[in-house]
Chains A and B, each alone.
Chain A
Amino acid sequence: MHPLEEHYLDVTRRRFFGIAAKSVGAGLGAMALASLTGQKHASAAGSASPSPEPTSPILAGTHFPAKAKRVIYMHMEGAPSQIDLWDYKPQLRQRFNQDLPDSIRRGQRLTTMTSMQKRFPIAPSIFKFSRYNNNQDGIWISELMPHTASLAKEICFIHSMHTDAINHEPGITFFQTGNQQPGRPSFGSWVSYGLGSANANLPTFVVLITQGFGNMQALAARFWGSGFLPSEHQGCKLRSAGDPVLYLNNPPGVTREDRRRMLDLVGDLNQREAERSMDREIRTRISQYEMAYRMQMSVPDLTDFSDEDQETLDLYGPEVRKPGTFASNCLLARRLAERGVRFVQLYMRGWDQHGNLPGEIRLQAPAVDQPQAALLIDLKRRGLLDDTLILWAGEFGRTVYSQGTLTNENYGRDHHPRCFTLWLAGGGVKPGVTYGKSDDYSYNIVENPVEVHDLHATMLHLLGFEHERLSFRHQGRDFRLTDVAGKVVKDILA
């Protein structure tokens, strides 16, 4: 329905039930209020009170049968070096310290961090690669990721990603919202909007953050903001220290019954305000208050690992007991996935290795390697991997040439948006394959380029949506995650 039309309808509803009530009798207005408030809330003792109508439009189901029911997106904030992890370029070992040929760089834009450099000396990876068997003719993976490499048969590597942004802020914003400018809804919010909640006791979109070891860029809450979508689709950040959700627990002296009575009263007041101002954000607020009330029970259960057996804990590695580590967050991601949370966004900060890359990556890579491999294994044996879509990506790649001093043991790498590697697994993605090819310098793409909109379109396709039809009307135009671009990469669909 056209928003303006809806507004008019709201007005007539209000006039009918509100203004008319004065003359016809207060009964009519009260009746309307009761019908709009939905069922009277359950008694204080019952933890489950029915949620208000979700605002998701897709109750009628996805556009076509979906392969994936949910997404776990591991964002490697700072942009990991594809050359040292995934994109095997042995020929570079004989080009140490040579200048990057102009025929490769072709005068493309660089960041101001290296554009003043006199030389662009080639820095080959000093990490050893091994070939692992997958469902094609094998894939070479760095010694930094042995656990992940052992799952080569489950993973689809894309060696030909490229993005428009060259700096972190617009780069992450682009990956998260499909646009470099802040303000659009996050990917997770779109998925929440499209699929709706599958667990009324938890948010549909949860964000988990791990602090890394190196140079860390700011992580703004708007990366998981809902933009112009109703704010119930906003990502909910679970904190690693103290209470996972701030102010979720009742203050001392307040019982759950007190809280229930308070929410009922506030809910009635909010409902009146919603009727008066017709601001749909107030409806969201009512539903979020109810959600928070239920989360008082569901979140402690979620973050309590005592029901995990020792073997599972060991799988994620020794750090799993330490809240906030990537290991702990990966286990949490699995627990969220099995509870039906639609979109789990993990951030691993600290991949921005402009200098001293070898030293930093030796700390950074092991922190994610075993946990992310464990997550894949754990999901798979529980029958969840085939309907959980996993994405592992940084916001761009890193340069083949060294930023700063290049030695036999040390180098740094600058931002490189023109070619980098990410991987997908589960959720209807073809397992154990590589897609796309970079040139010998991992600088340009020579085969099957994939852009960020294509990635979004493909992931939405696996979730059952035509990316061109999942839209939201705002300020007079239909917006979508893929803006006006994006094509589904059919070759990586299982």
Chain B
Amino acid sequence: MIPSEYAHWVEFFGRLHIMVLHLPIGLIVGLGVLEFIAVLRSKPASREVVGWVVWLAALSAGLAAGSGYVYGLDPGDPDDWRLIAHRQLGIAVAGAAVLTALVYSIVRVEVLYRILLLITIGLLIPVGHLGASMTHGPDFLTRPFSARPGTSPVATPLAPASTTQPLSSTLTPETVADPAPIKPEELFATQVQPVLAERCIACHGQQHQKGGLALHSMEELAKGGKNGPVITLGKPAESMLVQRLRLPLTDDKHMPPASKPQLTETQIQAIERWIAAEAPLNVSSEAQIQHTSRSIPEKKHDEDRDARAGKLGPPPAKALAALKTALVHYEAAAAGSNLLKVDFAAIAPRLSDAEARPLIEPLLPWLDTLSLSRATTVSDDTIRLLKDAPHLRELNLGGTKVGDAGLAALAGLQNLKELVLARTRLSDGAVEAIAAIRPLEQVYLWKSGLSEEAIARLRTARPELRVDAGDSPLATTQESEPEIKLTSDAPVPGQPPPAAGLAPVNNLCPVTDAPVNPQFAVVYKNRVVGFCCPNCPGQFWADPAKFEAKLPAATPDTPAAK
């Protein structure tokens, strides 16, 4: 039993393992290199040098094994086979290193020394690999190759800076090719479960349940941890699982711990989508995975499209770089999406088909929005390519040389919702091509060359399609106020009405036309006349007839002064 006052030092010694372990690796491999050179040169290495190094190696291997033993006592999963194997092999390396040193300096049999050294190096490799795979993740080394076959492993600018690995890498090539849309229930098997398996279950799994939480099976996941359930169906923001993932990295409660590989934004969003979709928790994950392989009926809505686009992987970096060089704008359709919005605005007026085609062609599968507006020389040669842009949702061909043939090529697009054809020179035959684009919701046809009759035909053929031909009816006047009369008739709320008979008959001062202050009033011809200030009555009396016309006409029921 360790006295508690030394516990900190023991822990400190254990943590030294992470540093010390590199010393024997370097020294032992160094010894190997020295022997190799010695064999090549047929001349033994300097005994003094090897003598020092071999003992340093033995000493550091012992230290590494000792500190490692202590370090392995503390955290993690005591039953992890990797930990057990690493510990036993580590001790074996230390033993082999000491034995090697003893043989070298005492037994002095060169052949025996070389064999023992080889054995030590042979042990070193699995030890190092096991240790590294615990701290860095099992696929740390091979990750760059597994990103996506055929594309550069370099993160494209589309990927958020913190991305360590796109979600797509957890999918097999077969699923990439699978065109079927994902139902909310399948999200778990394809996008959530692999993430949990990779990032969470080492600590929250069958073997180890930190915080009482296990995520390796649906039942356990539904059960939650010692702080209660981690999932609130339909409400990702209220689910502790998501809350912990979304905490700042610096927060102690953030999961996974800051030192461990983190989930990408795409992965967290996939979990959020899955929770939001209220998929039942009572089905076991194995059953879910099997379910995926069955064929799923076609269903079209944006989430499906996003999910399928998620399987695409990031767009090729080379094609994006070409856009950038050509000053063509691109951006992600939204955070975490691999789909692109591409806008040729900066270079549209001088864009030719020959320039446009090589820029667009490699990116077709990733297009979400494309604007060729004002590209007056771009024609069907380019537009025809878009038949292979299955995710295209918005297309602006305003001012281009698009023709009926180009439009016909768009008929197969399953996601095209909005199409701008303003300021083009279409013939009336284009109407049928437009009508054939079934998912289309909005089309702009101002100055498109179509006759009124053709536009009417389109409206009849596709009544649900919003057709804007620049002829949207303006709002019109429904009713107008009558001539405006300004009066003070309405009672003033919260104020007593003026004493009967003392209210002036006029609102405006007859001398200055300014509003009347009832404080300044005179009686004239049995009527109360009000003024704006004490000076006006004097002027009024000087020539009453001159101002009388400005007073309201006297009527029999005009209140008279008492």
Contacts and interface: CB of A to CB of B under 8 A. Distances in A.
B442 A386 contact: yes
A313 interface: no
Given A97-B515, A383-B422, A301 B349 contact: yes
A338 B481 contact: no
A201 B116 CA distance: 69
Q: Name the residue among B159, B324, B423, B477 with the largest chain A CB count within 10 angstroms.
A: B477
Interface string A192-210: 0001111111100000000
A124 to B, nearest CB: 6
Given A132-B475, A382-B423, A464-B334, A60 B490 contact: no
Contacts of B490: 91, 94-95, 98
A339 interface: yes
B422 A98 contact: no
A102 B444 contact: no
- Which of A101, A298, A386 counts the most chain B CB atoms within 10 A? A386
Contacts of A131: 477-480
A50 B514 contact: no
Contacts of B472: 153, 380-381
B276 to A, nearest CB: 13
A61 B336 contact: yes
Nearest to A465: B335
Interface stretch (A182-190, A273-281, A400-408): A400-408
A249 to B, nearest CB: 20
B515 A407 contact: yes
Contact of B479 (A60, A130, A199, A405): A130
Given A199-B329, A338-B345, A408-B508, A383 B444 contact: yes
**B324, B472, B490, B507 pick with most chain A CB within 10 angstroms:** B490
Contacts of B157: 59
Contacts of A65: 333-334, 337
Interface in A94-134: 94-99, 101-103, 119, 121, 124, 126-134
Interface residues of B, number: 65
B495 to A, nearest CB: 7
A96 B477 contact: no
Contacts of B469: 381
A96 B332 contact: no
Given A101-B495, A128-B480, A382-B444, A199 B335 contact: no
Nearest to B477: A130
B343 A340 contact: yes
Nearest to B419: A383
Contacts of A202: 346
B3 interface: no
Interface stretch (A144-152, A166-174, A418-426): A144-152
Given A101-B495, A126-B484, A339-B346, A94 B489 contact: yes
User: Per DSSP, are chain A's interface residues mostly helix, strand or loop, or mixed?
Assistant: loop
A66 interface: yes
Contact of B487 (A48, A58, A94, A133): A94
A306 to B, nearest CB: 13
A64 interface: yes
Interface in B313-345: 324-327, 329, 331-337, 343, 345
Given A96-B487, A339-B345, A382 B446 contact: yes
A62 interface: yes
Q: Which label, helix, strand, loop or mixed, suits the secondary structure of the B interface? A: loop
A41 interface: no
A196 B485 CA distance: 54
A134 B477 CA distance: 10
B488 interface: yes
Contacts of A50: 324-325, 327
Contacts of A407: 508, 513-515
B507 A97 contact: yes
A256 interface: no
A129 B478 contact: no
B474 interface: yes
B470 interface: yes
B142 interface: no
B502 to A, nearest CB: 17
Nearest to B321: A50
Contacts of A366: none
B90 interface: no
B105 to A, nearest CB: 40
A133 B514 contact: no
A205 to B, nearest CB: 15
A49 to B, nearest CB: 9
B418 interface: yes
Interface of B: 157-161, 265, 324-327, 329, 331-337, 343, 345-347, 349, 373-374, 396, 398, 418, 420, 422-423, 442, 444, 446-447, 468-470, 472, 474-481, 484-490, 492-495, 507-508, 513-517
Interface of A: 39, 48, 50-51, 58-66, 90-91, 93-99, 101-103, 119, 121, 124, 126-134, 138, 149-153, 195-202, 298, 301, 338-340, 380-383, 386, 405-408, 432, 464
19 contacts: A51-B327, A60-B160, A60-B332, A65-B334, A66-B334, A93-B487, A97-B516, A98-B490, A101-B492, A103-B493, A131-B478, A133-B476, A150-B475, A196-B331, A199-B346, A338-B345, A381-B470, A407-B515, A464-B334
Given A95-B490, A152-B475, A153-B472, 15 more contacts: A62-B335, A93-B487, A94-B488, A101-B493, A130-B480, A133-B476, A198-B345, A201-B347, A340-B346, A380-B468, A383-B422, A383-B468, A407-B508, A408-B508, A408-B513
